[in-house]
Structures are given as C-alpha cells and as structure tokens.
Amino acid sequence: MATAWESGATHPDWHTIKWKPSVAKRHALIKAVQADTNVLARSPHVAHRWQTRGNRFVALGYPDIAAGDAYKATLLCVKSLEYLTSPSLIRRTQDTHQLAQPQILELAREEFEANLVDESRGFTAACKLSKTPLARSAARGEKRKSRFRDVEDAETQDLSEIREDSYGVYAAKDVQAGELLLLDHTIIGYASGAEETINHCANCYADTPHPLYAGCCDAVFCSGTCENLSLNGYHKVMCGKDLSWLRKGDHLQWLMFRCLAMVVQAGVHPLDHPLVARLTARSSACPEPFSFVECIVKPLRMLDTFGADFFQPQYDTSVLVTLQTRISTNYWNCGVYKRNQRIRECSGVNPLYSFFNHSCQANGKWNSNNSTSIVVTALEDINKGEEITIAYVAVQGMTYRSVAKPGNHRPGLQLGLGDQERLRQL
Ligand SMILES: C[S@@+](CC[C@H](N)C(=O)[O-])C[C@H]1O[C@@H](n2cnc3c(N)ncnc32)[C@H](O)[C@@H]1O
C-alpha cells in the first residue's frame, strides 16, 4: 500500500464476515487502520503491528487483505524464532519468584526429623537442616534471593552473622563411619536402561521382583512408598497418555516431565510446590544454553498431554524456564555398573538430598542404589552438629552395590548389619 489505506477503495465482504460493525465502530476502525498503516511504513518489521492491522481488517469486512497482514506477521515470527533458536544463545536466569514461605522450611525440617526414625527400635534421625556458612564465599558480591524469608533460625544463633540464604545438612547425633544417614525417595527421577529388566518400579526404577500393581495401567511399584509417591504425586495426569514423542535417555527432559506432571496433578503454581520451592536457585552468574525445543516446545507439549491449559499465567515461559533451571541446578546423575558393564543411568531431584552441600573432602557419601532413591552414609565418624557434606562428582565411579550384598561395598563403606536390615524394610 503506497499511501494510507482508504475505505471505499474496495467493498467489504459481508458473506465471509458475519458480524457488521456499527457506524461509529467502523469509523474508529478506519482511523485505527490508517494509523497502523503509517506506523508500519516507518517500522515494517514488527510482527504484532501487522497482526493488529489484520484483525482490524477482519472487523471491517476485508478478510483477504487481513490474510496478507497475518501472513507477514507469521513470516516475521518465524524469522525471530530462527534467531532465538540460535545455538549461541544462553539463558541468564533471573530467579525472581518470591518464596517467602516459612512453612516450606518447616516441612523440610520435619522430613529430616522423620527420616529413618523407628521408635520401636530406638532409631532416631541422623540429619537435620540448618543454615550453612559454606556458600557464603560463593554468594559474595551477589544478592541471593531468599527462599525462607522471615524465618528465625533459633538453632543457629552462633551463625547469626551469616546473612546469605544457604542451607546445609548437619549431624543430629554422633555418627560412626559407615553408618546409614539418610534414605531419600523422590518423585522427580528417571533411569535409562531400566526397560531391559523384566520389572522395574514405575516410580524409582528399582528392579522389582515382587511388584505391586497400579491397577489403572500396567505400571508396577517396588513398595507402598513408591506406589503412594506415584499415584498421589503425578501418575493420574500421565496415565494412558501417548509419550512416544519423548526421547528415551534424555534425563533432564524426563525430570521436567515428572516435575510438570507433579505440579499439574497438585493444581498449584509450579514454583509454589513444596518440592520445587525448596530448591536453591541457580546463580545468575552461571548461565545455561538455551534450546527453543527443549525449553519451550517440549514443556508446553507436556502440559498439553497432562490436560493443563498452558496459556494460564502459572505456566508462563519465565516460570517454566525457572523450573527447568532449578532442576538442572539440583539434579544428580550417575551410571550404574555391574561387572564393569554399564547397566543403567539414573538421575533425580531428591527432596532431602538437594540440601547437601559439596566438599572435595566430603565426610558423607551418596549412592543411588540402582534406582532414583538416594542413600547417604558416613565416610568417617561425624560429631553431632558437624555439617555433613558429599562430593557432587562421583570421582570413584558409581559401581553397582546392592545393599543386600555388603561385600560389594568399598572398604569403609560397609553398612552395619542393623542398617542393612533397616534398608530392606524401608
Ligand atoms: C544442591 S544445592 C545445596 C543446598 C543449598 N546450599 C541450599 O541452600 O539449598 C547446591 C547449591 O548449594 C551451593 N553450594 C553447595 N556446595 C557449596 C560449596 N562447597 N561452596 C559454596 N556453595 C555451595 C551452591 O549454590 C549450589 O548451587
């Protein structure tokens, strides 16, 4: 169009467009179209302007002209997506969600206090949650977002000078080398290679010789714990759905899948779910690669699969990207070997394990135990009140060690007979 559009040059098509505007509305639309046309002459590469003008043409009864504008808007969107999917792009995450929820901290504390407790046998919890000075140096110069704002930590008065919001796991009692410290099941887990076994637990992927049947589909579980975690956590929204489009072996994708199923089934804002709200945010100084398909297309398709309306504000792109970043900051991954053969690769985001800080001279050791459940044991005697750290990187390799076969453990890692018995029961 060389000049501003003029009404009357062509006739409206009221056969295709059923709704006729009032005279006043028509005048307003014509003025708006002329203004749009002038703006487009100056800035022709703004997709939404073409779309807006196209919508006005539809309302005025010119669907053919509107189609041309809509097509130009589409071409511009495709072009900008090509730019946005460029592999050189990285995400500088701004984790801006406010998590001022003291109850999240309280819940995590209660979970630590209840872990491995068996009053009839006199077993008490070995771990507790407290503020840590470890991340202070890492946080220096950067204002960290508070997840547990307004919480007075009475137990850590001696650390009152610590302002950063970083937590760690501490010994709740004196523990001995080799002692079992924590058993942490999770909803957010995945294992590749598990399909080769006859039966594997649909929640934690452990080999399951005595399966419990879900009833609704052919899923089986290794224990009542996993059955509860699955059915009450995420299974209902994914049961019977076609998942063939999800790539096998892509761990982060499957962790996101479980996480989204969990928040949809719970019907809460993804970042408010207690298992997400507790996760530490990634420092904005550590950007991540961006992939249009992985970060946007797949999560939206997952939400659609679960029957969620992804146009709702709680599924905004910034929320989904934050969720993904939280997962990638807190997930663990390890290969499982049997007679030097890699038989499985497991990964997960575990609700209690995610509070352990890293040390190259760790006093604790983690093992995924051929499933997505994490077992933490003491590598040395640890005094009550000492921080329990683990090595995030499994330098020694994660060899296949069944808890039922203590001979497979490295020297110093043997579980006591009582611990083996406890693990079998859990
Ligand atoms: C899995 S979380 C560990 C728990 C975390 N401190 C919290 O408050 O939830 C991992 C994050 O903790 C911090 N962290 C863990 N070990 C650390 C260490 N040795 N020094 C500094 N920061 C550490 C880093 O911010 C890391 O991204």
Q: Quote the ligand 1 centre to 412 CA distance (angstroms).
A: 26
Helices (H) and strands (E) in the chain, counts: 13, 14
pLDDT for the residue 38: 92
Between 392 and 282, the more confident residue is: 392
- For the CA of 358, the closest atom of ligand 1 is 16
> What CA–CA distance (Å, rounded) separates 307 from 304?
5
Name the band, by pLDDT with cuts 50, 70 and 90, for residue 163: very low
Top-ranked range on mean pLDDT: pick from 69-73, 99-103, 317-321, 420-424? 69-73
> Which amino acid residue places its CA nearest to atom 20 of ligand 1?
135
Residue located nearest, by CA, to atom 23 of ligand 1: 135
- Rounded to the nearest whole angstrom, what is the distance from the C-alpha of residue 408 to the centroid of ligand 1? 30
Provide, rounded to the nearest whole percent, the portion of the chain with pLDDT above 70.
75
Q: How far is the CA of 330 from the centre of ligand 1 (A)?
A: 9
Please report the pLDDT score of residue 122 as a whole number: 81
419 contacts: CB under 8 Å, gap ≥ 6: 178, 179, 180, 377
Q: Please, what are the domains in the chain?
A: 23-84 (1.25.40), 102-142+162-184+332-425 (2.170.270.10), 190-322 (no CATH)
Query: In this predicted structure, what is the pLDDT of residue 98?
Result: 40
Give the Cα separation of 276 and 233 in Å (integer): 13
Residue-averaged pLDDT of the chain: 81
Distance 137 CA to ligand 1 centre (A): 11
Choice among 88-92, 153-157, 193-197, 210-214 with the minimum mean pLDDT: 153-157
In SS3 terms, 339-351 reads as CCEEEEEEEEECC
Q: What is the Rg, in whole angstroms, of the alpha carbon atoms belonging to the chain? A: 28
Q: Cα of 135 to ligand 1 centre, how many Å?
A: 6
pLDDT above 70 for 158: no
SS (HEC) of 250-274:
CHHHHHHHHHHHHHHHHCCCHHHCH
Lowest mean pLDDT among 106-115, 196-205, 398-407, 408-417: 398-407
Which phi and psi (to 5°) does residue 170 adopt?
-120, 155
Task: Determine the Cα–Cα distance for residues 303 and 310; give it in Å rounded to an integer.
Answer: 6
pLDDT at 284: 59
Q: Give me the mean pLDDT over the 360-373 stretch.
A: 91
Residue 123's DSSP bridge partners are: 118
pLDDT in the model for residue 197: 73
Query: Does 96 score more than 60 pLDDT?
Result: no
388 Cα: distance to centroid of ligand 1 (angstroms): 12
What is the 358 CA–ligand 1 centroid distance (Å)? 7
- Ligand 1 pocket by C-beta < 6 Å: which residues? 134-135, 138, 166-168, 280, 329-330, 354-355, 357-359
Provide the pLDDT confidence category of residue 157 given band limits of 50, 70 and 90: very low
- Which has the higher per-residue pLDDT, 20 or 162? 20
Band of pLDDT at residue 200, cut at 50, 70 and 90 = very high
* Distance (Å, whole) CA 213 – CA 209: 12
Q: Which of 10-24, 62-76, 323-337, 345-359 shows the lowest mean pLDDT across its residues?
A: 10-24
Q: Indicate left, alpha or beta for 150 from its phi (over 0: left) and psi (-120 to 50: alpha).
A: left
What is the pLDDT at residue 80? 81
pLDDT at 79: 84
ipTM confidence score: 0.99
Ligand 1 nearest-atom number relative to CA 167: 8
Residue nearest to atom 21 of ligand 1 (CA): 135
CA distance 35 to 257: 46
End-to-end C-alpha distance for the chain, whole angstroms = 74
Distance, CA of 368 to CA of 362 (rounded, Å): 17
Is the confidence at residue 406, as pLDDT, over 70? no
- Provide the pLDDT confidence category of residue 276 given band limits of 50, 70 and 90: very high
Ligand 1 atom nearest 329 alpha carbon = 27
pLDDT band per the 50, 70, 90 thresholds, residue 258? very high
Choose one of 146, 357, 359 to mutate for the ligand 1 pocket test, by most ligand atoms within 8 angstroms of C-beta.
Answer: 357
Q: Which atom of ligand 1 sits closest to the CA of residue 137?
A: 21
pLDDT of 421 reads 54
pLDDT of residue 136: 52
Of ligand 1's listed atoms, the one at least distance from the Cα of 280 is 9
CA 83 to chain centroid:
26
Ligand 1 nearest atom to the CA of residue 353, by list position: 1
pTM, rounded to two decimals: 0.76
Closest-lying ligand 1 atom to the alpha carbon of residue 165: 8
Task: Considering only residues 94 and 259, tell me which one the structure prediction assigns the higher pLDDT.
Answer: 259
pLDDT of residue 5: 67
Residue 345 to residue 337: CA distance in whole angstroms: 9
Distance (Å, whole) CA 298 – CA 304: 10
Q: What would the mean pLDDT of 269-285 be, rounded to a whole number?
A: 83
Whose C-alpha lies nearest to ligand 1, atom 7? 167
- The answer to whether 276 and 319 are in contact (CB under 8 A) is no
Instruction: Using the mean position of ligand 1's atoms as its centre, give its distance from the Cα of residue 221 in Å.
Output: 32
Highest average pLDDT, of 168-182, 183-197, 312-326, 395-409, comes from: 168-182
Report pLDDT digits (tens) over 326-347: 898 899 998 887 777 888 899 9
Look at residue 305 in the predicted model and tell me its pLDDT: 97
Residue 153 pLDDT more than 70? no
- Mutate which of 146, 188, 358 for ligand 1? The one with the most ligand atoms within 8 Å of its CB, which is 358
Q: How would DSSP label each residue in 266-306?
A: HTS-GGGSHHHHTSPPPPTTS-EE--HIIIIIHHHHHHHHT
- How far away, in angstroms, is 322 Cα from ligand 1 center? 17
Does 401 score more than 90 pLDDT?
A: no
Predicted pLDDT of residue 91: 53
**Distance in Å, CA 136 to ligand 1 centroid:** 10
pLDDT greater than 90 at residue 119? no
What's residue 81's pLDDT? Answer: 79
